[in-house]
């Protein structure tokens, strides 16, 4: 699976900063809900925060992959939704290495999507472990530039 199968150009957001992990998760859920699939934002955010209480999804090196299973609308033909957020100023995310986070891949999966979300989580993890990918994303000035980085890096690393 390639990173382009998970994130599209419309799924890339750049923000200056955020006040907290909770606020950034709320904002990301709002973006997904308004652009891709109408979700109960409060319940989805609660699911993400519950997942974070089990253990931070901050992988280290400034990267986090918050994820959760949640209720998708019955009329939806989607079972997974993703978003990539790049922050200009990193935030505390309780990451494993105690470093702030500035690259956040969010993955939401419907309750009945099977194991497809695990395949996508693994693909994101493999992709971002390429230190060059994270550094190139950090250098990108626009969402279209981030998209170019994702495409270029994915082709060179077969992510």
**Catalytic residue annotation:** 67
**Which residues are registered as beta bridge partners of 58?**
64
Q: Please count the other Cβ atoms lying within 10 Å of the Cβ belonging to residue 94.
A: 14
Q: Please count the other Cβ atoms lying within 10 Å of the Cβ belonging to residue 35.
A: 12
Length of the chain: 159
Distance of alpha carbon 153 from the chain centroid? 17
Report residue 159 as tokens.
């992510």
- What are the respective helix, strand and coil percentages of the chain, to the nearest 5? 45, 20, 30
Q: Please count the other Cβ atoms lying within 10 Å of the Cβ belonging to residue 132.
A: 12
């Amino acid at each position: 699976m390639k990173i382009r199968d998970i994130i599209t150009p419309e799924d890339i957001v750049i923000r200056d900063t955020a006040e907290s992990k909770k606020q950034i998760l709320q904002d990301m859920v709002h973006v997904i809900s308004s652009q891709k699939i109408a979700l109960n934002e409060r319940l989805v955010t609660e699911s993400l925060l519950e997942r974070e209480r089990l253990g931070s999804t901050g992988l280290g090196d400034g990267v986090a992959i918050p994820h959760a299973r949640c209720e998708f609308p019955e009329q939806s033909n989607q079972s997974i939704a993703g978003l990539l957020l790049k922050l200009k100023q990193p935030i505390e995310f309780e990451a494993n290495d105690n470093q702030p986070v500035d690259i956040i891949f969010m993955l939401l999966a419907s309750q009945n999507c099977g194991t497809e979300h695990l395949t996508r989580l693994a693909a994101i993890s493999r992709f971002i472990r390429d230190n060059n990918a994270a550094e190139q994303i950090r250098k990108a000035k626009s969402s279209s530039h981030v998209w170019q980085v994702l495409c270029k890096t994915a082709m060179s690393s077969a992510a």
